[in-house]
Amino acid sequence: MEPVIGIVGGSGLYGVDGLTGAEWRAVETPWGAPSDALLHGTLDGTRMVFLPRHGRGHVHTPSTVPYRANLAAMKAAGVTHLVSVSAVGSFREEMAPGHLVIVDQFVDRTVARAASFFDTGLVAHVSMAHPVCAALAAACARAGRAAGATVHEGGTYLAMEGPQFSSVAESRLYRSWGCDVIGMTNLPEARLAREAELHYATVAMVTDYDAWHDGHDAVAVSDVIATLKANVATAAALVAALPAEVGGACETGCATALDHAIMTAPDARDSAMVERLRPIAGRLL
């Protein structure tokens, strides 16, 4: 099956240039409307679907992004490979503003977000030991280098609730835990992508050094925005390079993540939940 590439654009990335047959399509899901309409098109012969995570004009906070609707909309659109492009702060001197980090692990410090499609009446537990698709992550790294970026392969993403930036104490604590970058949006996104059996990867675009760094103990929004604007060109070039890179064999089990995850016995499943979850887990329901 040919891959269909989905792009979730973070702060500063609100579209994809160069799509053939580009069309914005508004959709609804069992979890409501996604952040915005989905931009469909073709790039170098590969189908692509783009969704601005915060909506065009940046109307959603990290806590109010409709994550379940976003992922359900991507799944319903036929997306097989989902790339999250996200702005982050860095806990590592060598991961400098303007660099890209291809994340492979997450630490969740969010507190106010629904983190699963499943609920009472239909229970499932997926493995998050390896939360990104290794093959897709490698493809993103190659695309990033083709775009001329400095790319770091591997890194732990600390997801904080926000919308405020970290205190110095928090920043130092997260750095001491071994986290590499910090952001506000990739969880529960990565969890939901695993439940939806999508190949998922995060391209983290570093905008600042967070509060731990001497001389950077107050993250200035103006500086973040300036770096974001500079990163947009890199992100666009990376997206343009993806069709040539995506499609390698997956050894992470992304497409079969639900095989042994559903716990509720068939005769005990809530019928309304079954119908609600068909777009996500219809392969097994």
pLDDT of residue 1: 76
pLDDT of residue 10: 82
For domain 5-281, is the CATH number 3.40.50.1580? yes
Q: Summarize pLDDT for 80-133 with one digit per residue, the tens.
A: 999 999 999 999 999 999 999 999 999 999 999 999 999 999 999 999 999 999
pLDDT of residue 221: 64
Residue spans per domain, the chain: 5-281
User: Helix/strand/coil (H, E, C) string of the chain?
Assistant: CCCCEEEEECCCCCCCCCCEEEEEECCCECCECCCCCEEEEEECCEEEEEEECCCCCCCCCCCCCCHHHHHHHHHHCCCCEEEEEEEEEECCCCCCCCCEEEECEEEEECCCCCCCCCECCECECCCCCCCCCHHHHHHHHHHHHHCCCCEEECCEEEEECCCCCCCHHHHHHHHHCCCCEEECCHHHHHHHHHHCCCEEEEEEEEEECCCCCCCCCCCCHHHHHHHHHHHHHHHHHHHHHHHHCCCCCCCCCHHHCCCCCECCCHHHCCHHHHHHHHHHHCCCC
For the annotated catalytic residues, the residue numbers are 208, 210
- pTM here is 0.95
pLDDT of residue 222: 66
Low-confidence ranges of the chain (pLDDT < 70): 215-222
